[in-house]
Structure 1
Amino acid sequence: MRHRRWTLPDQVRMLPGSGFASKVVSPAPRRVIARSTWKQGCPVAASDLAWVRVTFWGFDAQRHTGELLVNASVADDIVQVFRTLYRVRFPQERVTIARTYDPDAPSTGDGNDTGAFVCRPSTGATYFSQHAYGLAIDLNSFQNPYAKGDVVLPELASSYLGRDRVRAGMITPDGPVVRAFARIGWQWGGDWRQSKDYMHFSRNGL
Structure 2
Amino acid sequence: MPSRLALLTLAAAVALGGCSVLSPSPTPTVTVEAVTTATATPEPEPEPVVSEQPDRDDHDDLYARPIWLGTIPLAIQEDNLGQRKPTPEELQDRQLAPRPWLPDPESEEFAYEITEVPDDVAARSSWRRECPIGLDELRYITMTYWGFDQEPHTGEMLIHRDRAEEVVGAFEKIYDARFPIEEMRVISLEEHLSPPTGDQNVTSAFWCRRVVGAATVWSEHSKGLAVDINPFHNPYYKGEELFPELAESYKDREWKRDGMIYDPSVVYDAFEEIGWTWGGHWDGREDWMHFSAEGG
TM-score by length of 1: 0.95
Which of 132, 149, 154 matches 2:244? 154
Can you give the 5+ residue segments of structure 1 that lack an aligned partner in the other structure? none
Q: Decide which moves more: 29-38 or 13-22.
A: 13-22
Distance across 2 between alignment mates of 1:44 and 1:104: 19
Q: In the TM superposition, what are the counterparts of 1:134-153 in structure 2 within 5 Å?
A: 134-153=224-243
Q: CA deviation at 1:124?
A: 2.0
Whether the 8 Å CA contact 1:190–1:197 is kept in 2: the answer is yes
Q: Which amino acid aligns with 2:101?
A: Q
Counterpart check, 1:130 vs 2:258:
no
Distance across 2 between alignment mates of 1:19 and 1:151: 40
Pairwise CA RMSD of aligned residues?
1.4
Distance across 2 between alignment mates of 1:82 and 1:150: 32
Identity of aligned residues (%): 40
Q: Which amino acid aligns with 2:189?
A: T
Q: CA deviation at 1:13?
A: 2.5
Distance across 2 between alignment mates of 1:16 and 1:107: 35
Q: CA deviation at 1:17?
A: 3.5
Can you give the 5+ residue segments of structure 2 that lack an aligned partner in the other structure? 1-90
Distance across 2 between alignment mates of 1:198 and 1:9: 23
Match of 1:163 in 2: 253
Secondary structure at 1:73 match in 2: coil
Whether the 8 Å CA contact 1:44–1:132 is kept in 2: the answer is yes
Secondary structure at 2:163 match in 1: helix
| 1:102–1:59 CA distance, 2 compared to 1 (3 A) | closer
Match of 1:45 in 2: 134
Secondary structure at 1:31 match in 2: helix
Q: Which amino acid aligns with 1:185?
A: G
Q: CA deviation at 1:204?
A: 1.3
Distance across 1 between alignment mates of 2:96 and 2:104: 18
Distance across 2 between alignment mates of 1:101 and 1:124: 20
How far does the alpha carbon of each residue in 1:74-115 deviate from its partner, in whole angstroms, 9 at most, with x for none?
Answer: 000111011001011110110010012677643101001101
Larger Rg: 2
Q: CA deviation at 1:60?
A: 0.6
Which of 269, 273, 278 matches 1:188? 278
Q: CA deviation at 1:173?
A: 1.2
Q: In the TM superposition, what are the counterparts of 1:19-38 in structure 2 within 5 Å?
A: 19-25=109-115, 27-38=116-127
TM-score by length of 2: 0.67
Distance across 1 between alignment mates of 2:150 and 2:136: 36
Q: CA deviation at 1:205?
A: 1.7
